[in-house]
Each structure stands twice: as C-alpha cells, then as structure tokens.
Amino acid sequence: MGPGPSDTHPHVLAALGAPTVGHLDPFFLQVMSETQVMLRQVFRTQNELTLAVSGTGTAGMETSLVNLIETGDKVIVCVKGVFGGRMADMAKRMGADVTVLERPFGEVFSSAEVAEAVKRVQPKVVAIVHAETSTGALQPLEEISKIVHDAGALLVVDAVTSLGGVPVEVDAWGLDAVYSGTQKCLSCPPGLSPVTFGPRAVAALDKRKTKVSSWYFDLSLVRNYWGQDRAYHHTAPINMNYALHEGLRLLLEEGLEARHARHLRNHIALKAGLQAMGLKYAVAADCQLPQLNAVLIPAGVDDMKVRRQLLTEFGIEIGGGLGPMKGKTWRIGLMGETAYPRNVLLLLGALERCLTANGVACPPGAGVAAANAKLA
C-alpha cells in the first residue's frame, strides 16, 4: 500500500510464467498488436504511435522528452514534486534551454501561472506531471493544454500514477506525448512504460534537424518494430509484455470508468477513516489523488518506527515522504489491485495499533467505523 508497485492480480502473475517465445514470433507479434489496441482504449486515444517502451516509467519519461527536444530548444518544466524535478534534469542533460516553473511540494499550478510563463518564454515543449507520486497531488490539465497549444507548443504529460486510476483523456484534452508505468494502477510488475504520441508530437519528431540522442529510445526506430514492418530494434521483454497484456485485459473487463470509481470510493473511505483518527492530508481537498494518499505524520511520531511496525506485524507497506516531505508525510497507495475495502479496513485497524503504541491517542475503532460508514 505504498507509492508502487501495487499488488498484482494472480492472472497477471500467471501470464508472466507463460512460455517465452522469440521477439518476432507470430504469437508475440499478435500480443503486441492486441496490447496496442488496449493501450489506446486506456489512454482514450486514437494515436497510432502508442506502444510499451521496454523499461520502467522513467524510461517513458526519457522517451517522451528525448524525441521532442533538440539542443537549444526552449522548454518549460513545471516542478511541484520529485518527478517534475527529474524531468527538468533530463531536459537540461539533453541540451535544452530549460525554464523551471515551481510550486511548493503538494500544490498544483494554476492555468494563469502556466499562461504567463508560456507567453514569456515561447517554448517548444511544456512538461508537467499529472499525478505527482511524491506528493499525492492531482494537476488539472485541460486549460493548460489549451494554453500550450494556442502558443504553438507541445505538452508532455507524466501519467505514471494516474493512468487507470483517474481519467486520462489524451485526445479530448489534446495531450501531445504521455507516458505511464505498469506498476501503479495497471497493477503489473514494474518493467514497461506505456507511451502515446499524438499527431503534433509525431510531426515534431519527423521534422527534427538532428538524430535523437538516445538510440534505444529513438521512436523513429522503435515505431518500426511496433508498426506493420516489425523491423528488429531490440529484444523486447517478452514475459513483461504478456503481463501488461493480461493487466490491460483485466482493466477493460472491469471497465475504465468502473475502475476509476473503485479508486475514488476506497479513497473516500480511507480518508474518512484517517480523519476520524485525527490525521490530516498534506494536499488540499480539491487536488487530492485517490490512488496516492499523502497524510501528515503526527507530531512526535517516528516515521520509520511506524512503517516498520506496519510491515513486520501486519505485512503492510506504506511509503515515506520524498524531498522536503521526507519524515513529514506517509504516502498510502490505493492503486489497482490494492484499491479494495479489505485493504482500507486492515490498514486503518493496523495503523490505529501502531499510533497507539507510539503515544498517539486514537479514538478506539473510529477509523474503521468511519470507513465502513462511507463504504456502506
């Protein structure tokens, strides 16, 4: 129940153990084709260039940036957490002229802030995190996307923690390049990064004056492997693709809207329980992520001591804070297969025990009772 990886469905684990075939085997090529179709459904897009990058979510981040940035390009990176900072670092390494737009950890950007920066910088690319895993904040994107496009720029979006947990409307919101990861709300092991490039992003890739600086993540090469030609590029992680295929099948069987609703329902129950125990969220109510709940650690409580007790006595893992939130917050994940009432209620009961042992006066049973009331 931390910030990822989430629990994995038994069918996904079984898919991992299926016989390994060659990366150009007709069966595997069919798996790839079906995976692309399902990824488009989950991303809510018709983008032809939609595929699973061989690597974790950070590989998707690098893929999205390195294919669109050339040396000297003006880039705005919106930083409100660890992963926005990582995008800024990557863009600088690629030789971009980077303008960093900052908000304190746990906050989100207003469209006016972005509009002012875009007007001032006139960038080629604007990069922003949709669901900031390090803080539990959900960034609205629709207005920002319009602002970026009106200025003739491209919008790159980190949807590592949001895809499958909250709506990610690639086509409706006009998102140009979006990447995610398998280990969050898709509930697969880490190892692949779903990526989708829209028409504007593909046009920018095709118009590059220089080669993409990363050979491995060069989509002008990789797309030929995932396209009709099936030209050899690298040996894909066969069994991880089996796992993603099965994870996407399970998601679509449940229904995308139903899965979003399940995440929200269990978030509401968890939030009610935590608040009944006297805990407060680190993020304003209007931008809280259902699948990543960042709560403030009560004064005087040892962060690691509580997390160690949860893990050793109850088999529950939650995450600590990152950056300026280290030692100040707990990050409680409700992602994919983890987002069920049994986990919400178990955690609340276990956390009450741990907090009581650390001198925090919790009303007995209040957390579980409040969560049950919401679930009912």
Tell me which of 3.90.1150.10, 2.40.50.140, 3.40.50.360, 3.60.15.10 is the CATH number of domain 256-375.
Answer: 3.90.1150.10
Residue 129 exposure: Cα atoms within 13 Å on the Cβ side: 33
∠ CA 179-89-76, rounded to 5° = 70
Burial 304-313 (b: 16+ CB within 10 A, else e): eebbebbeee
Burial of 208 (0-12, 13-18, 19+ CB in 10 A): middle
Query: Distances from the Cα of 92 to the Cαs of 55, 59, 156, in angstroms?
Result: 21, 16, 15
The owner of tokens 């028409």 is 199
Measured CA to CA, the distance from residue 291 to residue 289 in angstroms comes to: 5
pLDDT at residue 228 above 90?
no
Give me the sign of the Cα torsion angle 224, 220, 196, 1: positive
Domain boundaries, the chain: 10-253, 256-375
**What percentage of the chain exceeds 90 in pLDDT?**
98
Which token pair is 35? 């995976």
Residue-wise pLDDT for 301-328, tens only, equals 999 999 999 999 999 999 999 999 999 9
Q: Does the domain made of 10-253 have the CATH classification 3.40.50.300?
A: no
Residue-wise pLDDT for 115-171, tens only, equals 999 999 999 999 999 999 999 999 999 999 999 999 999 999 999 999 999 999 999
φ/ψ of residue 155, rounded to 5: -110, 120
Mean pLDDT in the chain?
97
Q: Evaluate whether 63 touches 219 at the Cβ level (below 8 Å).
A: yes
Helices and strands: H and E segment counts in the chain: 14, 12
